[in-house]
Amino acid sequence: MNILEQIVADKRLEIAARKVQQPAEDLKPAGGFPNGDDFIRALRSVPIGLIAEVKRRSPSAGAIREPFDPSEIARIYEHAGAQALSVLVDEKYFGGGEAPFRSVRSAVRLPLLYKEFVVDAWQIRHAASLGAAAVLLIAAVLKEDELRAFMALARDAGLAALVEVHDEAEMRIAAELECPLIGINNRNLKNFHTTLEMTFRLSAGAPPGCTLVSESGIKTFGDIERLRAGGIQAVLVGESLLRQPDLLAAVTGLMQGPARS
């Protein structure tokens, strides 16, 4: 069992327990926050949008930022000009959770992505109840009929579905489903090798008119320029920003390039 399979297995057990503690019918949509249309619109409002990530740790990288203050990180991202934020919800492997998500939601007005390993419809209701604007759906962990059903549930809840793909087969499914928002993960799930070439290769198979987000391995302004020139509408970046002591300068340098004297 690889790490993704282990995370998903643990997530199914976690959500089964949470559904008993908090039935889906008790989860009411939060009002007054950006919705799915706002999420996509924000990403496309600039030449290349930034989804800046709030993440404490990961299985491969360990602790990423200490001390970790989700609300302060979110305020800096907003001040730096990010179009949207991605907030990790998984606690066991990524140090996220409902409390960090709520603290970010109360700190900023930006559209938020519920970054989670979604395996159950309950999680989509949960995302809406927390004031999310979008929810991550990972093609590698969902069957095609599940992906289709979860996309419909997200749409009905007013959420954008960011469908994440890792290879050509997953992109074909996303294209067949006419996904309006697709994330291309540049990290190979089998060997964890990361390359931006994954984005350029898979983007050729994307459905017309969709919003493409490049994820993982984006570290420099040069990367941003390459992706923008390649027709990518947005990037999702976390670790390379969060490891920098001056987060504001890190975001500015990544998206606008080195400061000119």
pLDDT band at 213 (very low <50, low <70, confident <90, very high): very high
Whole-model pTM: value is 0.96
Which tokens go with 22?
A: 């908090």
Stated as kind and residue range, the H or E segment containing 151 is: helix 144-156
Amino acid 189: pLDDT: 72
Cβ atoms 80, 246 nearer than 8 A: no
Whether the CB-CB separation of 137 and 150 falls below 8 Å is answered with yes
- Is the pLDDT assigned to residue 260 strictly greater than 80? no
**Tokens standing for 241?**
């920003």
The conformation of residue 259, written as its DSSP 8-state character, comes to P
- Domains plus CATH for the chain? 3-255 (3.20.20.70)
Local structure of residue 260 (DSSP, 8 states):
P
- Percentage with pLDDT > 70 across the chain: 98
pLDDT of res. 225:
97
**What are residue 165's phi and psi, to 5 degrees?**
-120, 155
User: pLDDT, tens digit, for every residue of 128-180?
Assistant: 999 999 999 999 999 999 999 999 999 999 999 999 999 999 999 999 999 99
pLDDT at 174: 98
1: pLDDT strictly greater than 70: yes
Give the catalytic positions in this structure. 53, 55, 115, 164, 185, 215-216
* Buried b or exposed e, range 52-81, using 16+ CB within 10 angstroms: bbbbbbbeeeeebbeebebbebbebbbebe
Q: pLDDT exceeding 90 applies to what percent of the chain?
A: 90
What pLDDT is stored for residue 258 in this prediction? 81
63-109 pLDDT, tens digit per residue, is 999 899 999 999 999 999 999 999 999 999 999 999 999 999 999 99
How do residues 184-196 score in pLDDT, each as one tens digit?
Answer: 999 877 667 889 9
β-pair partners for 164: 138, 183
Compute the chain's Rg from CA coordinates.
Answer: 17
Computed over every residue of the chain, the mean pLDDT equals 95
